[in-house]
Amino acid sequence: MSLKALKLTLVKAWPGALWLIIVAGPLVILRVNEITGRVEFVAERVVKLLVGAFLAAFLWGLFRQLSGSPEGRKGNPPPLKRLGLSALIGAFISLKVNALNKSRLFWVIVALCLLFFPLMTSPYALKVATSVLIYIALGLGLNVIVGLSGLLHLGFAAFYGVGAYAYALLGHYLGWGFWVCLPLGGLAAALLGLALGLPVIRLTGDYLAIVTLGFGEIFRLLLTNLDVTFGPRGIGQIAPPGFFGLDLNQTFKPFLEANIGLNPAMDLNKVWIYLIVLGLVALSVKVASRLENSRLGRAWLALREDEIAARAAGVNIAFTKLTALALGSFFAGLAGVIFAAQITFINPPSFSFMESIYILVIVVLGGQGSIPGIILGATIITVLPEFLRGSDNYRLLIFGGLLVLMMVFRPQGLLKRGR
Amino acid sequence: MLPSDAPTAGNPILSTHNLSMRFGGLLALSEVSLAVKRGSITAIIGPNGAGKTTLFNCLTGLNNPTSGLITYRPQEGQTVNLTHGSLDKAARLGLARTFQNIRLFNELTVLENVLIGLHSRLKAGLWGALTGNKKTRAEEALALELANDLLQKQGFGDLTKVLAKNLPYGLRKRLEITRALAAQPTILLLDEPAAGLNGGEAQDLIKLIREVKSEGNLTIILIEHDMSLVMSVSDEVHALEYGRLIASGTPAAIQRDERVIKAYLGEE
Ligand SMILES: Nc1ncnc2c1ncn2[C@@H]1O[C@H](COP(=O)(O)OP(=O)(O)OP(=O)(O)O)[C@@H](O)[C@H]1O
Ligand SMILES: [Mg+2]
């Protein structure tokens, strides 16, 4: 980005700031006195409002520039977009922003940004974002097994593959749709997790790692050599998720393009997948954080820390291990179904040992057991290679080096599990 | 081969009959028959390698004896055969223990350690954990309250969020006992609770043992090398040597027992 463009962005931020001040200003500088019921003017907040509005407008412009949205090029904002945003902020005001506490507000803003992200970006950025989200779901799943329960699992990609192939095959042979296959893919992966778990309950540490590694490889070899799975050729033309039987591109695209400034190259099916996986990740984060502070979650942690002490506290090891394996695999199955829908073509190499390692790196890099760590880890692991394009051969080397450095300097991960 | 003065009368809470434990060529326990009175503080003494920890391991299901019988009577009129039990099952039946080489959940906080100690008293399963329903939330809140209360009482004050591994030795030992107490056990088994403690800490330990015993109707079995501690807290003492029970009786009687003096006290 050139200096000139930066200057332009600075100048262009003024009208935006003014608009923000008009819309949001009253909310900031006026306060309802709850005792007297009268509206009061809060002078201290004026400076905050000015600075905040300008910064927000500037960052917004900067973001526009960087994400290369059509508006940045045309410079002529579609009227509906303005209107939409105003309505949004209006709705926000009626939500009584003041009543929301700060962290709540933060999350609302993050959620809104994530929700509207597809409208402001390119198909390529959307694809990367969707990948990040899929890897977050995978990381959260493996985190239950490796991070929380301390079971070293080196064949996790197989469970991801089960979900993906479940959707692809059920769709191909039976014509089943995404929404039926999503829970089925998760369940199939969970059942396979149990099937793997039963014989290995007694194994720990290295032995478990070897068995899971072998399991993952067997799965990949089966996919490659079976006829039902179309062997190494893989399966293509996987259907996108349905939306009340509508063709998204035909129904909504012209409108969104004309009025909201949607990138014309954008495929709305991909937007829909992004939103689905976003919802899934939000749900997963919620469930995962709930699990961590539950009786079961603590049993997992106890198992990881000291199996004998855990048993002495009454923890049933078999049940604890099996729930961890089944639940972690369930996450992977869901992620697999979505992955298949996103890339529309899958083949065995997508679920190789290396894939298992990538997911493991996410968990280890982020900080075992830490949910924010996993989000960060998934982002790094997915976005970093995009910058290293062309040097694909070095990718593994870089990840390997990264892991070694992590183990030496920050074995607890980038973001430690908070309590 | 019941020792003549073993307290078989009075419906013991826990008893072993001809308990033997063999590790390869080594007979770690040999035909041990003893009984633990309900509500008593019972000490197990004996020189290093006598089989004291092995006895604990058999009682709590960590090891299964080669032969013999373990009978547990949680309440009057209720009999459970513990001979082929397992550690977690014993825990759920009310036997909580500590370990000779402290086993804490090191990377977890003091509070989390105690919450895990509460495990067998809580009910929430997978479904509750996933949905976070009302019942589960209420149980979780109660668990937190119980754990915090217990920790306050045991003097962990503002240390509840500290990682267990960062506690000094004395507090680590105390935390392990606190974790065991969280389960509200029927029998508390302490494997060398005073080992490595300084004078003051040992005094605190004695106080703790007396307190928890008088508060709950708790039975305590402890392995101890510190004779003054054994003599001051226990009602009954069993002495082991080379896996065999060589004497049982009151602390005063044991102190006078010639075989014990020869085998154990005489060594010092
Ligand atoms: N799992 C095991 N496998 C093999 N041998 C064992 C095992 N556990 C204990 N032993 C052996 O059994 C004997 C009794 O050990 P135990 O730990 O019960 O002694 P102890 O009375 O607790 O001694 P200390 O005072 O040193 O703790 C020892 O010789 C020990 O080496
Ligand atoms: Mg011992």
Per-residue pLDDT tens digits of chain B, which is 268 residues long: 444 344 444 689 999 999 999 999 899 999 999 999 999 999 999 999 999 999 999 999 999 999 999 999 988 888 999 999 899 999 999 999 999 999 999 999 999 999 999 999 988 888 888 888 888 889 999 999 999 999 999 999 889 999 999 999 999 999 999 999 999 999 999 999 998 898 889 899 999 998 888 887 799 999 998 888 888 899 999 999 999 999 999 999 988 888 888 876 555 4
Please calculate the CA angle A19-A23-A24 and round it to the nearest 5 degrees.
115
Q: Does domain B1-94+185-268 have CATH number 3.40.50.300?
A: yes
User: By the CB < 8 Å criterion, does A299 face chain B?
Assistant: yes
- Pairwise CA distance, residues A263 & A89, whole Å: 23
From the centroid of its chain, how far is CA A318? 31
Q: Which fold has domain A122-419?
A: ABC transporter involved in vitamin B12 uptake, BtuC (1.10.3470)
Cβ-based burial of B235 (10 A; exposed 0-12, middle 13-18, buried ≥19): middle
From the centroid of its chain, how far is CA A305? 28
Higher-scoring residue by pLDDT: A13, A389: A13
Task: Give A294's contacts in chain B (Cβ within 8 Å).
Answer: 124, 128-129, 132, 136, 140
- Mean pLDDT of chain A, nearest integer: 80
Q: Do B12 and B18 touch, CB atoms closer than 8 A?
A: no
Structural tokens at position A230: 């179309």
Question: pLDDT, tens digit, for every residue of A316-361?
Answer: 999 999 999 999 999 999 999 999 999 989 999 889 888 898 898 8
pLDDT at A102: 56
Q: Does the beta carbon of B1 sit less than 6 angstroms from any atom of ligand 1?
A: no
**pLDDT of residue A4 exceeding 50:** yes
**Burial profile A18-36: b = 16 or more Cβ within 10 angstroms, e = fewer:** ebbbebbbebbbeeeeeee
Interface pTM (ipTM) of the complex? 0.91
**pLDDT of residue A160 exceeding 50:** yes
Q: Which residues surround ligand 2, an ion (CB under 5 A)?
A: B 53, 100
Measuring CA to CA, which residue among A157, A162, A154, A114 is closest to residue A138? A157
Q: Whose CA is nearest to atom 22 of ligand 1?
A: B53
Q: Which of A13-27, A180-194, A327-341, B199-213 has the lowest mean pLDDT?
A: A13-27
Q: Sorting pLDDT into bands at 50, 70 and 90, what band is A9?
A: confident
Q: Does the beta carbon of B30 sit less than 6 angstroms from any atom of ligand 1?
A: no
pLDDT at A419: 54
- Pairwise CA distance, residues B152 & A55, whole Å: 48
Q: Which fold has domain B102-184?
A: Rossmann fold (3.40.50)
pLDDT at B167: 93
Question: pLDDT, tens digit, for every residue of A97-141?
Answer: 455 455 666 777 778 878 878 877 788 888 888 999 999 999 999
- Kindly provide the residue ranges of all beta strands, DSSP E only, lying in chain B, ordered along the sequence: 14-23, 26-36, 41-45, 67-72, 80-81, 95-97, 187-191, 219-223, 236-241, 244-249
Same fold yes or no, B1-94+185-268 and B102-184: yes
Record: contact A311-B99, CB cut-off 8 A: no
Phi and psi of B39, rounded to 5°? 80, 10
Tokens 């083949």 correspond to what residue? A347
- Pairwise CA distance, residues A345 & A350, whole Å: 10
Q: Does the beta carbon of B111 sit less than 6 angstroms from any atom of ligand 1?
A: no
pLDDT at A33: 60
Query: Amino acid identity, residue B129?
Result: A
Query: Amino acid identity, residue B98?
Result: T
Q: Do B61 and B21 touch, CB atoms closer than 8 A?
A: no
Return the best residue to mutate from B32, B45, B53, B267 for the ligand 1 pocket (most ligand atoms within 8 A of CB).
B53
Q: Where are the domains of chain B?
A: 1-94+185-268, 102-184
Query: Amino acid identity, residue B179?
Result: R
Record: contact A295-B92, CB cut-off 8 A: no
Tokens 């960062």 correspond to what residue? B166
